[in-house]
Amino acid sequence: MPLSALGLLNSGSASGEALTNPVIARCCEAWQNRYKAEKSHRTNDLLAVRYAGISYRNAMPPLLGYDGIRDFIACTAHGMLIGAIPHQDGTRLLYAAQVALSTLHRQPQETRPPPEGQNVYQINNPPYPHPDGPATPSRIG
């Protein structure tokens, strides 16, 4: 078992300060509960640590909104530090958080309702002249 994971099991966290963040505390608690459950059924520490890591990742917040992304990054970084998340997986998770964060900066501006007498289709699709003239029911059918 990684030394840092042993610290997580014994003290609740490899760093006591990390537990002041309730989201990280939830992930650590999920790790501890799963590790203890696996150890009660199995003797293999490596499997118990692996399954506990899965529970840690499942307890992480979704990548929704700025606060969720920030908490996701904090949980990922902490999980990498304590050995709950392998570095290769952690870098992928951090990249996913980076992509999610970049989408927040590119969200469309709030749209205004169309002016009186126009509908959204007219605004978004201006009329283009057709070489054969306007569409008539005889040309469409």
Burial class (CB in 10 A: 0-12, 13-18, 19+), 58: exposed
141 is a domain residue? no
133 is a domain residue? no
d(CA 67, CA 25): 16
61 is a domain residue? yes
- pLDDT band of residue 20 (cuts 50, 70, 90) is confident
Average pLDDT over residues 95-107: 89
What domain range is 11 assigned to?
3-105
Q: Which two tokens mark 29?
A: 């608690």
68 is a domain residue? yes
pTM above 0.75, yes or no: no
d(CA 57, CA 36): 17
Average pLDDT over residues 106-128: 61
Mean pLDDT for all residues in the chain: 79
Q: Which helix (DSSP H) or strand (DSSP E) does residue 101 occupy? A: helix 87-105
How many domains in the chain?
1
Give the number of other Cβ atoms within 10 Å of residue 54's Cβ: 14
